[in-house]
Chain A
């Protein structure tokens, strides 16, 4: 098993690498398209603005190779925060198109009843049976820091929702494409368990 991390440039890969070290999982930062060959899992963490992340991804030269591994080879990929948002078609936050792997768009969180950005710990309400988040975990919480959220055309893709102004999709999964709006690498043991569960996902 080997995890390839796709570095978007303004990402928290330091924290993620530490978490993977704690799980005893070998990992490396993918720099060349060919380096993705040896990955059993892919993780795309992201902190930052949509266009900055998408721009970095395009500049990395990895998009074509990533698309092949994700859509053809069906390698499990975990998008974190901005990483997850890039899976969609587009975002209100930017002008560049997203990867378009999911029928989804990013919109701004509504600020009538809750503060934006959504910053802090929050819970995930599990919508459907899944292997990533335990449904009955009463005290499971995760750290969120975002102003935009992914709206998926297909509700079946939404595994878990979180309430902040609206009940937004906080965990999504379509086959091997998995996304978390929160930061598992900064969510104490809850985040660690989530990543551990992700690593148990095998290519479909």
Chain B
């Protein structure tokens, strides 16, 4: 197995590329197709694309759009947002992405993961779990109807067939202040599948500490699309040779 994967995490809002802070206030960044092409040219390991407007729209995924996006990528893409049924998932995979990410539908009925895995194989199924901390500093799942501890949700997701977990620390989203290493450690310890850590990653030091904590990959949002304290939009990705040199 080669090194920890470093994955740009891009958010879509009505087919526009946006960036949020703490999951709020999406700011416009640019055209997603162009961004995917640029990241592909930079040789990124993978790409995660999440449509944050999908649940609101209550329409199925725009397959023609996903096909166009996938056409720009010479690397694997994980696509999520509004996937409610096995048919949704299969259609998206056929459009040219490698993996689907399921979040809300998992909270409604965790069996969606096993249903999709049964058809597409578990390596195609990512369960996305967004985590918030309560006043006692314990980690709970964001968006759940009842309080669910993050670790329990993680275990349930893997039990149901998730091939990977995408773990997002909501409070660190967009902050570029560092990852929640403790959370990453606890979840990685609890499950046997790759954990992709997201929320607050800055760069080399965070990639190294996430790896030490057990993460198989780090998903990076703000730090790969913003530059400097004034948040100028600039798509960035570290050099492959550099990553190989310092990541196990």
When the two chains form their complex, are residues A120 and B5 in contact, meaning their CB atoms are under 8 A apart? yes
A62 within 8 Å of B (CB atoms): no
Q: Give every chain B residue within 8 A of A141 (Cβ-Cβ).
A: 2
Chain B positions 159 through 183: 1 when the CB is less than 8 Å from some CB of chain A, otherwise 0:
0000110000000000000000000
When the two chains form their complex, are residues A115 and B193 in contact, meaning their CB atoms are under 8 A apart? yes
- A47/B98 contact (C-beta < 8 A), A10-B93, A82-B121 known: yes
When the two chains form their complex, are residues B75 and A188 in contact, meaning their CB atoms are under 8 A apart? yes
B90 within 8 Å of A (CB atoms): yes
When the two chains form their complex, are residues B90 and A146 in contact, meaning their CB atoms are under 8 A apart? no
Beyond A13-B96, A147-B122, 14 additional contacts (C-beta under 8 Å) are: A12-B97, A14-B94, A18-B71, A47-B120, A49-B117, A49-B119, A49-B120, A49-B121, A52-B120, A117-B194, A120-B1, A120-B216, A122-B1, A163-B1
Binding site for B on A (CB under 8 A): 9-15, 18-19, 47-49, 52, 82, 111, 114-123, 141, 143, 145-147, 163-164, 183, 186-189, 191-192
Binding site for A on B (CB under 8 A): 1-3, 5, 40, 43, 45-46, 67, 70-71, 73-76, 90, 93-99, 117-124, 163-164, 192-194, 216-217
Report, nearest first, the 6 A-B pairs whose CB atoms are least far apart. A14-B96, A117-B123, A145-B123, A186-B76, A117-B163, A188-B74
When the two chains form their complex, are residues B71 and A14 in contact, meaning their CB atoms are under 8 A apart? yes
Interface-centre pick from A48, A163, A187 (highest chain B CB count, 10 A): A48
Pick the residue among B40, B71, B97, B163 that contacts A119 (CB under 8 A). Answer: B163
30 sample A-B contacts, Cβ–Cβ < 8 Å, listed by A number: A9-B94, A10-B94, A12-B96, A12-B98, A15-B96, A18-B70, A47-B98, A48-B124, A82-B121, A114-B1, A115-B193, A117-B193, A118-B1, A119-B164, A119-B216, A120-B5, A121-B2, A121-B45, A122-B2, A141-B2, A143-B75, A145-B76, A145-B123, A147-B163, A164-B1, A186-B75, A186-B98, A188-B40, A188-B74, A189-B74
Q: Give every chain A residue within 8 A of B43 (Cβ-Cβ).
A: 188
Minimum CB distance partner of B1 in chain A? A164
- A15/B121 contact (C-beta < 8 A), A123-B2, A188-B43 known: no
Pick the residue among B2, B93, B97, B121 that contacts A120 (CB under 8 A). Answer: B2
Q: Give every chain A residue within 8 A of B98 (Cβ-Cβ).
A: 12, 47, 145, 183, 186
